[in-house]
Amino acid sequence: MKTVLLDAGNTAVKWRIVSPDGPWSDADPRGTIPVGTPRLAEELQDACKAAGCSLSDAAGCCVAPQSVQDTIDRATIAALGRPVRWLTAATRFEAPGISLRNGYRDPTQLGADRWHALIGARAVRPRGTLLVVSAGTATTVDTLTDDGRFVGGVIAPGIRLMHDSLARGTARLPRADGAYRPHPDNTGDAMQTGIIDAQIGLIERRIGRIRADQAAASVRGDDADDRAIHVLLSGGNAELLYKAWADAQACDPAATAVVRSVEPDLVLRGLRLRSTREPPT
């Protein structure tokens, strides 16, 4: 039996059909459907049918409007005979080798996508301090300590929202994409480089905060098994940020090692683990 996982974001719905007790595989049927697609329900139904397997469950998280969530439910009811189990953030998560505690003041206020991305990130990187970057419509940067505490994170406009804001708020800046350049010499490249540098600067600022916390812990005599900071970038703009960051050589790992990687579908990874630990009733 298979499960269809659904990550309903502001821009697109990502789906993946997995075996609850099998390995995470690139061969899993998967896809992305823009939220504004008029035939969203039909495309999801078609995807489930095309998978050619017996689906027994649908689990997901949603930060899209309620109307999108209702549309997805109609699709899974038609394909599986049941709506999606919409999973929200929790106070903690436990699985073999994984222990997470939600440090948000009100744990239920944390976005479901961010919580499941943290679970997926810990599955990818079982040890070390993690900085989980979701670069999509918004850019979120969340910190998970070596002992599994989510201590908080930040939210900022994503790359497209920054472009749109410049175009709306200025009289003569175009709504056009440029390229990331070391020294931009035209308006399009200047906008693109400035926006991407702002995104990278946000990440580096959080790295600086982690380093300050680690330094304070050392003064107190606390000891951590792994002082490395693992930056996991996910989302539609992850590759773009990763390449620009590497090209600029913006990160100086002299004080604390920083390991950067692009990890697609962290939310879906987290959903798979959570849905397996909390099976349908």
Q: Which residues participate in catalysis according to the annotation?
A: 113
Q: In what order do the strands lie in the sheet with 149-157?
A: 92-95, 98-102, 149-157, 138-144, 129-135, 229-234, 258-262
201: Cβ–Cβ under 8 A, 6 or more apart, which residues? none
Tokens 């309620």 locate to 66
Instruction: In whole angstroms, give the CA distance from residue 179 to residue 152.
Output: 32
**3-class secondary structure, 90:** coil
Say which DSSP state 235 is in. Answer: S
Torsional sign, CA 278, 130, 246, 8: positive
Q: Which amino acid is at 197?
A: D
Amino acid 31 reads G
Instruction: Spell out the residues 6+ positions from residue 173 whose beta carbon is closer than 8 angstroms to its own.
Output: 166, 167, 187, 191
User: What's the CA gap between 133 and 150, in Å, rounded?
Assistant: 13
DSSP string, 172-208: S--S------SS--SHHHHHHHHHHHHHHHHHHHHHH
